[in-house]
Each structure stands twice: as structure tokens, then as C-alpha cells.
Structure 1
Amino acid sequence: MMKPSHTFAALIIAWFSVLGSIQAVTLEVKEGNSTCIKAELSASFSITYNTSNSTTSVSVPLPNSTTVDTGSSSCGADGRSPWLVAVFGSGHALGLSFTTNGSLYSVANLTLQYNLSDSSFFPGANSSDVVTVVSSSVGIWAPINSTYRCFSPITFKVGEATVTFSDMKLEAYMPGNDLSPTESVCIADKAGTTAPPTTAGTTTVAPPPTPAGKPEQGTYSVNNTNGTVCLLAQMGLQLNVSYFSRSQNKTIQALVNLVPNVTNPSGSCNTTSATLTLTEANATMLSFSFTLNTTNNKYHLSTITLQANWSDMAGTFSVGNNSLDYMRSTLGRSYMCNAEQILEVGPTFSLNTFRLQVQPFQVTTNQFATAEECQMDQDQMLIPIVVGAALAGLVLIILIAYLIGRRRSHAGYQTI
């Protein structure tokens, strides 16, 4: 009988013979002779699955035999999102879809597909299903024409699995066939000591600004392809974020003001949706998406997303919500709220707005249309009216009481 140590060694040798050596792979998506997406990375997957007796987990490395699925991968023509789909083994795949706001690109979705009938990966699995899991909160992003770089391991939860990347260089929407020498470095590399030194072209991430009372009001706009303004906004913005602080070694809650003079707007508009993205110092990206209901000609703020890469964060912060119903107004009018609003986005993020006016559709002459005011502003206007009416009523009551008292006083005297 083979000794346990020999058995284990044999299993390891067999495992690597199936997967190939665990090395960084290079993956490219091309359109003709041009490269639009390129990735150099190592990856491993921790996957939990059911057997006949229990639940077990396996760790699956991305083999160096991994190839790009040219049929599923795309540079994003005809309005489609760019996709990098890598395939390996018997029916396994890793997919990254990308999006851009014109100044930044980011991984919109991370997809993992694994085939439970592959006994070399999933021995004893009680299912032969092909499972597909997706995560939309990845936090991989960088400025256009720069390379996202993260040599340190970064792990993402994807369904019942986790995906860990390391030794990673990645660029989408590439202007040339080679990765840009300008790099946007992940926070894990900045915090660690094992990462190679940063090149001269590397961008740095600024720490979050310190809030000082209410935020300054900024003016932001988005242009159509013909250069006309299609979205107009004026607002002061304050981020209320809970994150794990490296310096304090605990989760903290921070109020951070967005500073208009270092914040760049971008976005897009069409007939039924409009998006405004605000990017501050390549460290904070805040996006708003408005949706128009063409049946009743009402629009509302439907989506808010935040991605932050502050120096004190233990990792990239990413949160979003696409089922919101804020800032409801009528097509052809603007929405106004001077009072402070608290827009709840998720358990770890809410957005405070001050002196806000926004119009995402039918902007003419670069000016806001007639405003529909929020309920809080209406209530604040109603309070002085009610108080004034109450004071006027009190004065009237006192005057009437005085006149009645005076009349009775005269009635008590008789003429001599």
C-alpha cells in the first residue's frame, strides 16, 4: 500500500499534470490586428460544492493552458460591452466585462463558470450542472489609457465561490497593442512591501479630503455627441462611508466632502436614460443614473454607485444600488432640493446632498427649466406661513377681546 505522504505527492503531481503549472497567463482580445483588452495575471478559484455525504471546497488555479474564447470575447462593437472570456479545462470559464464613462474604465461584471461533472476538479460531486455565478461589485478600475496594476492578491466573492487575482496587469479600451506604461496601482500594492517598485509613469491615489462643514456646491454638466448639454446639475455632495481603516485597524464611519474644483464630470444621455459620473483625483468615482418613464413622462434617480480607492482603506471600496427611486420629477422640468437630503444606497454608504438642482432631460440654452421642489423644501416654506397665520390669529383674538372688554366697560357707566 502506498504511504499517505506518497499518496499526497502523487495527487499533487496528478493535479498539476491536469492543470499545467500555476503561472501568470497573458490574455488578449483583438479586433482585426488591434488589441482592445489585454490581461497578464494569475488567478485561483475556491469553490464550494455538494457531494453525496457533505459539502466540500476545492481550490482551482487558473492553468497556463488557458485561452481566450474568441466567440464570446468582444471589443464592444454595436453598443455591446467589451468582454474578455477565458476558457480552461472541461467547460470552465472566467469572464470580465468592462464599462467606461469616458475618463475611467472598470470591470462591470466578473463571471465564473464551472462544470461540476469534471471529476478532476470536483471529485464526488453529486451534480453534473454547469454553474455560472456573477459579481457586479468588483472595484477594478483605472483611468483611460492607463494600466490597472495589482501584484498583491485581491479576492472577490462570486456566488458560492471566491476568485483571487495576483500579479495582475490589465487594460481595456486600449489605444495600442501594448499595455500602457502609465499604471494605476491598487491600494493593496501601496500598503504592502512585497510589490515591485512603481514605475515613473505610475499614478498615485490621493487620500480622502477632510470634510469641513457642509460641502461646497459644484456645477456639473454632460454633453451630447453634438456638443449640447443634455444633463445639468448643481449640488453639494457628502459621502457617508463605512470602511475598514488600516491606520486604526477597525471599521470606521467617515464623512467626506466631494471637492468641485478637483472633480471631473462625464457621462452620457439618450432618450430614456442619463448618467452623470463624477471623478475626484482618480481616488473617488461617484455615478448617478436617471431613468425616464415615457408612459407618464416622469423621471427619477434609479442608480447610484461609488468606487473609492483611498489610502487608508484596506481594499478598494465599491457599492451600488440600481433600484432607487429618488429625485422624482416631470420631463421638461428640473428637480430642486435646497434642504439636506440623505440618500440611502447600501449598509455601508449613503449620500448627503445640499442645495441640489438637477435636470437630466430636455435641457435647453444650458439652463435649468422650472423647478419642482422636494417635499422638505415645501415643508420648510409652509412652516413660516403656518407660524405667521397663527400669530395673526392670536393678534386678532387679542384685539377682539380688547374691544369686547372696552365695550363692557363703557356699558357700566350711567349719564348724570
Structure 2
Amino acid sequence: MKLCHALAVLIIAWLAVIGHVQAVTLEVNQGNSTCIKAELSASFSITYNTSSGTRTAQVSLPDSSTVDAGSSSCGTDGSSPWLVAVFGAGHALGLGFSTNGSLYSVANLTLQYNLSDTSVFPDSDSLDVVTVVSSSLGIWATINTTYRCESPTTFSVGSASVTFSGMRLEAYMPQNDLSPTESVCTADQASTAAPPTTPGTTTTPAPPPTPPGIPERGAYSVSNINGSVCLLARMGLQLNVSYFSLSQNKTIQELVNLSPNETIVSGSCEPSSASLVLTQEPIATLNLTFTLNSTNSRYRLSAITLLANWSDMTAPFWASNTSLDYLRSTLGRSYMCNAEQTLAVVPTFSLNTFRVQVQPFEVTTNQFATAEECQIDQTQMLIPIIVGAALAGLVLIVLIAYLIGRKRSHAGYQTI
């Protein structure tokens, strides 16, 4: 018994030495009410420069972390809710939240680390305080529901990565404690087993969904805080999603059109980024993010995020990719593509676009600027020209051959 006790003490001491990640409870309050609460463990892997190369520091969020009352907020006066935890010598972890009325999500993850802290960053060649930001994390849940994810989940943010585990959090809270109703992350969800059958019974799978056809073209716009339009888009959108179907008891691929008449439009515009958020309740929220490269004055569709919750799904579907390169055009011009395009996002989700025209920057008259056509449209226009020129050349060759042949036939007779 004494040996077991000694081993337990040794294990606890060893975990403390290597920096065992502990759960931390953090709350943002307004008066006597709690609006954000998080129970989580977090660890950070941060790469930094030294005089002889690079090193990677491993840091854990300590249980001594506290909420920074000056930076944290419940989101009053039009600002977004923020939970900012400070720890160590000038380090901070921030979670920014957003909502569309029915869902809330972590819209921004911010990590601040102080390279002058020699206990964490020995031999660092810089004394700067570095702040890195990441968005579209896939941490979301319905309002009045607790997000829960016990599995370790890692997010890249700049030259660092953040790993959460044992996470339970809720924002926009109507009560002072976490809701007993939980939205469980995909990593925690066990694979769905086939429905049980009893002797003498058979299960007839449902027929596959009918293809929806070409989607209706919608007109969407996003305005600045001063009311001026900063993003314009006209396009038909079709979601191509692979998921496990409850009715068919297998993984299927389904096409779903976004209906402009049933879509709520929101978004934001910044100097170097702009987002268009399309919500078709209760089935899907699609977020398109454009970024501007100020060096070459070119913009692109750099990120697509989808939250879907269809009745035939075993669990809500989430997909995101923040390193895309689609719909490229020049600042001051709009992008146009009449041809159907398939924008691959992740293996289980792609976005089909039809008759697209979009301008996310420098919208001056609430109308599209001169359009730059996509390569597909240019190729499709070039093909008829090439075919027409080839046919014209062929007709000309036949005509010349005919005239030469006719001239030779006349040369065989003599005039009397």
C-alpha cells in the first residue's frame, strides 16, 4: 500500500515537472450576470528565432490564468463578445464570438506571447510582444447550448499552434452557468451504428435525394457601419456535401441549392479582408472570406466555411478551409464567371458556383466595376472563334482548289 502511494506521488510530481495541462475555468461577467464561461485545457507550441536558428517552446495555460476585465466584454454597444485570459509575463489567449441569432461560434482566436520572457523563450533574438490571429475554427453551437469537445483539437495560428482539450464553453448565456444541453464536437462523436433489426423485419433504405437542378441566382450585398455598400455579389450557389444519412444508413453525396429568397445576408468589410455570410435557416450557414494582397493589388476568395444541420444528418456538419485561391481579380475591378465552377474546400465538401460576379473591395457607386472574366469563359469564347476560323479557312481552301481545277480543265481545249 505504501508502495502504491509512493508511486502515485511520484507520477503526480512527474506530471507537474513536464507541464501537465490542467483545466482552467474562465468567466466574463457583466454586473451579476455571466455572459461567457469556459472550462478548458490549452497548450501552445510556439516557434521563435534565436541567434543560431529556431526553437519551439511548449507552453500550457496555467490554472493561475485570469480573465482580463479590460479586454473581455459581453459584446455591448455593437461590439463582439470577447474572453481574454492573461497568464505569465505578458502572455494572453483571446476568444472572440459571433452569432447569427440561432448559432454562436468562435469567430477569432488570438494568441499573444512575450518573447522577452526568457523562462519560456530562452535565447530569443527578439524582445517583441507578438500577436497572431486565426479565424473560422469550427467551434460552434446553437444558442442556449454548451459546446463540448473532450478530444484534443489543434488550431494553427501564425507560427504557433493551440491545442484545446476537455473544452466546455458557452457564449451569449441566458443564465449564469453552462447549459445542460450540449453540442458535441465531431471528434467526440462515435461512428453511427446501423439501426437494430429484429427477426422477421427488414429495413428498406430510403431512395437517394433528387438532384436539385441549377440554383437560382441571388443578389447579395454587405454594407459598412456607415451604411455604404462595400461588397457586391450575384451568383447561384450549390452545396455539395458528403455525410452519413440516417434514412439510407450509409454515407451519401447530396447537392443542396441555396435559395436567395430564404437567405439572410450578413458580413463585414476591412481594408484587407471582406466576408459574405449567407444563412439559410435552419439548414446552413456559408461564410465566404476574401483577402486583398496590397503588394500586387489583387484579391482572392481565400476561405470558405460551411455549417450545415440537415434533418437526415447524424450530427451537424462543419467544414472549413482558410488557404484557398479562387475568384482572383484586380483591385478596382469585379470578378465574373458565367460558367459553372466547382470550388473544392475539403474532401467532404465543395461549392458549385453559377453565373458569378463579385466585388469585395472598392465598391464606389453600389454597382459592379468593369469585370475581369474568368479563364473558363475566355476559353469557351475562344473555342467558337477558333472553330469558325478553321471552317472559314477550309471553305477558302476548297474554293481555291475548285478555281484551280476549273482553270486546268479549260486549258485542255483549243479555240477554233
Q: Give me the TM-score of the superposition, normalised by structure 2.
A: 0.66
Structure 1 residue aligned with 2:205: none
CA offsets 1:38-64 (integer angstroms, 9 cap, x no match): 11x54346899xxxxxxxxxxx9996x
Structure 2 residue aligned with 1:52: none
1:115-126 pair list within 5 angstroms: none
Q: Secondary structure at the match of 1:354?
A: strand
Q: Give me the TM-score of the superposition, normalised by structure 1.
A: 0.66
Q: Secondary structure at the match of 1:392?
A: helix
What is the CA–CA distance in structure 1 between the aligned matches of 2:320 and 2:360, rounded to whole Å? 23
1:267-286 pair list within 5 angstroms: 267-286=267-286
1:129 aligns with 2:89: no
Structure 2 residue aligned with 1:223: 223
Q: 1:381 to 1:107 in 2, by over 3 A?
A: same
Q: 1:241 to 1:354 in 2, by over 3 A?
A: same
CA offsets 1:90-134 (integer angstroms, 9 cap, x no match): 8899844214376564213457899xxxxxxxxxxxx96379998
What is the CA–CA distance in structure 2 between the aligned matches of 1:165 and 1:330, rounded to whole Å? 44
1:20-169 pair list within 5 angstroms: 25=25, 27-30=27-30, 33=31, 37-39=35-37, 41-44=38-41, 67-70=66-69, 73-74=72-73, 82-86=81-85, 95-100=93-98, 105-110=104-109, 129=120, 136=135, 138-142=137-141, 146-150=143-147, 153=150, 155-158=152-155, 162-165=163-166, 168-169=168-169
Residues 221-230 or 341-350, more deviating? 341-350
What is the CA–CA distance in structure 2 between the aligned matches of 1:185 and 1:371, rounded to whole Å? 43
CA positional deviation for 1:368? 2.8
Does the 8 Å CA contact 2:344/2:350 hold for their aligned counterparts? Answer: yes
What is the CA–CA distance in structure 1 between the aligned matches of 2:189 and 2:165, rounded to whole Å? 18
Q: 1:237 to 1:113 in 2, by over 3 A?
A: same
CA positional deviation for 1:387? 1.0
What is the CA–CA distance in structure 2 between the aligned matches of 1:365 and 1:92, rounded to whole Å? 46
CA positional deviation for 1:336? 0.9
Letter in 1 for 2:266: S
What is the CA–CA distance in structure 2 between the aligned matches of 1:152 and 1:294, rounded to whole Å? 38
Q: 1:246 to 1:149 in 2, by over 3 A?
A: farther
Does the 8 Å CA contact 1:284/1:306 hold for their aligned counterparts? Answer: no
Q: Secondary structure at the match of 1:290?
A: strand
Instruction: Please list every run of 5 or more consecutive structure 1 residues that lacks an aligned counterpart in the other structure.
Output: 17-21, 49-59, 115-126, 193-208
What is the CA–CA distance in structure 1 between the aligned matches of 2:330 and 2:139, rounded to whole Å? 34
Q: 1:78 to 1:270 in 2, by over 3 A?
A: farther
Count of matched residue positions in the alignment of Structure 1 and Structure 2 = 365
What is the CA–CA distance in structure 2 between the aligned matches of 1:23 and 1:367, rounded to whole Å? 52
Letter in 2 for 1:328: S
Letter in 2 for 1:223: S
What is the CA–CA distance in structure 2 between the aligned matches of 1:161 and 1:3, rounded to whole Å? 39
Structure 2 residue aligned with 1:196: none
CA offsets 1:338-396 (integer angstroms, 9 cap, x no match): 11223344555443321111122344554333322112111111111111111111112
CA positional deviation for 1:278? 1.4
What is the CA–CA distance in structure 2 between the aligned matches of 1:249 and 1:109, rounded to whole Å? 36
Instruction: Please list every run of 5 or more consecutive structure 2 residues that lacks an aligned counterpart in the other structure.
Output: 16-21, 46-59, 123-129, 191-208
Structure 2 residue aligned with 1:353: 353
Structure 2 residue aligned with 1:381: 381
Does the 8 Å CA contact 2:331/2:361 hold for their aligned counterparts? Answer: no
Does the 8 Å CA contact 2:23/2:166 hold for their aligned counterparts? Answer: no
What is the CA–CA distance in structure 2 between the aligned matches of 1:130 and 1:243, rounded to whole Å? 44
Does the 8 Å CA contact 1:337/1:357 hold for their aligned counterparts? Answer: yes
Residues 298-307 or 4-13, more deviating? 4-13
1:250-399 pair list within 5 angstroms: 255-292=255-292, 298-311=297-310, 312=313, 316-322=317-323, 324=325, 326-331=327-332, 333-346=333-346, 349-363=349-363, 366-399=366-399
CA positional deviation for 1:191? 7.5
What is the CA–CA distance in structure 2 between the aligned matches of 1:161 and 1:292, rounded to whole Å? 26
What is the CA–CA distance in structure 2 between the aligned matches of 1:212 and 1:8, rounded to whole Å? 64
Does the 8 Å CA contact 1:235/1:354 hold for their aligned counterparts? Answer: yes
Does the 8 Å CA contact 1:101/1:266 hold for their aligned counterparts? Answer: no
What is the CA–CA distance in structure 1 between the aligned matches of 2:250 and 2:280, rounded to whole Å? 25
Identical amino acids, percent of aligned pairs: 53
CA positional deviation for 1:285? 2.6
What is the CA–CA distance in structure 1 between the aligned matches of 2:151 and 2:316, rounded to whole Å? 8
Structure 1 vs Structure 2 CA RMSD: 5.1
Does the 8 Å CA contact 2:98/2:107 hold for their aligned counterparts? Answer: no
What is the CA–CA distance in structure 2 between the aligned matches of 1:47 and 1:378, rounded to whole Å? 47
Q: Secondary structure at the match of 2:276?
A: strand
What is the CA–CA distance in structure 2 between the aligned matches of 1:93 and 1:252, rounded to whole Å? 45
CA positional deviation for 1:251? 6.8
What is the CA–CA distance in structure 1 between the aligned matches of 2:149 and 2:411, rounded to whole Å? 98
1:189-208 pair list within 5 angstroms: none
